[in-house]
Amino acid sequence: MSAEPEAAPVMAATGDVVVATDLTKIYGEGDSEVRALDGVSVSFPKGQLAAVMGPSGSGKSTLMHILAGLDRPTGGSVLVDGTELAGLNDQKLTLLRRDKIGFVFQFFNLLPMLTAKENIELPMKIAGAKPDPEWEATLVEATGLGTRLTHKPAELSGGQQQRVAVARALLSKPAVIFGDEPTGNLDSKTSGEVLDLLRRAVDEFGQTVIMVTHDASAAAIADRVLFLRDGKIVRDAGRLSAGEILDTIKTLE
């Protein structure tokens, strides 16, 4: 299939929260060299839910880790909320992730000895910041966790644990939330609840969400679906149905 043109931004346009330009990531050298990313340029505007898809080894997780400042590229640049990541040392990069980026992982990453409420508030407490009580109450209502705030993770279902993780990611009002297979450890019903919450975060709260997923049903809620193969973006589409997404994936494998 013919590749659709990639965006190649040189600088952040108004409203772009994340901008990547000519990203490369190379592992190994010589005959064992692997290009996990090969000249990727892409931007994500505020208030958009984007899904990133591709077969195993396509580079989608590498792309997310570099955009989120969890890994450094071999070449190219990343801007997050106007800040160039390449110029930051490890300490400043940690502070940027704390202040500007929210994370929702496949396996929840909750601390088992803390209650749901304490897990939600933990990153802000570590940062020495106080949560906005009204905003926290809004998130508790949105996540449906009002009666579960004093429960510890072992007393919560998988879906409830992931909703705690989403509320935790949203509490500091980050510039962008990255989801790494956020429904990968959930059944279809609880997956739907978490996806509805991410969709609401974008539509009602103006959040920007970039989600790596292998699930066509999850990607179908996105405003935009990016497909990677061999470290390149080969299709950058608007909203697609699950069937259209599966058809595209078949052409990439």
pLDDT number for residue 2? 41
Cβ pair 52, 211 in contact under 8 A: yes
* Percent of all residues in the chain with a pLDDT value above 70, rounded to a whole number: 94
HSE-up of 84 (CA within 13 Å, CB side)? 7
How would you class 105 by CB atoms within 10 Å of its CB: exposed for 0-12, middle for 13-18, buried for 19 or more?
A: middle
Is 90 exceeded by the pLDDT of residue 227?
yes
Based on C-alpha coordinates, what's the Rg of the chain?
A: 18
3-state SS string over 103-161? Answer: EEECCCCCCCCCCHHHHHHHHHHHCCCCCCHHHHHHHHHHHCCCCCCCCCHHHCCHHHH
- Per residue in 98-134, pLDDT (tens digit) is 889 999 887 778 999 999 999 999 988 888 888 899 9
Q: Binning pLDDT at 50, 70 and 90, where does residue 5 land?
A: very low
Give the residue-averaged pLDDT of 137-157. 90
pLDDT number for residue 7? 36
Q: What's the whole-model pTM score?
A: 0.87
Q: Binning pLDDT at 50, 70 and 90, where does residue 6 land?
A: very low
Is 70 exceeded by the pLDDT of residue 88?
yes
**CATH number corresponding to 46-61+87-252:** 3.40.50.300
* Percent of all residues in the chain with a pLDDT value above 90, rounded to a whole number: 54
Query: What would the two tokens of residue 8 be?
Result: 């190649």
Is 50 exceeded by the pLDDT of residue 90?
yes
Give the residue-averaged pLDDT of 156-171. 90
pLDDT number for residue 23? 95
Give the residue-averaged pLDDT of 181-193. 83
pLDDT number for residue 11? 40
Higher pLDDT, 7 or 19: 19
Give the residue-averaged pLDDT of 4-10. 37
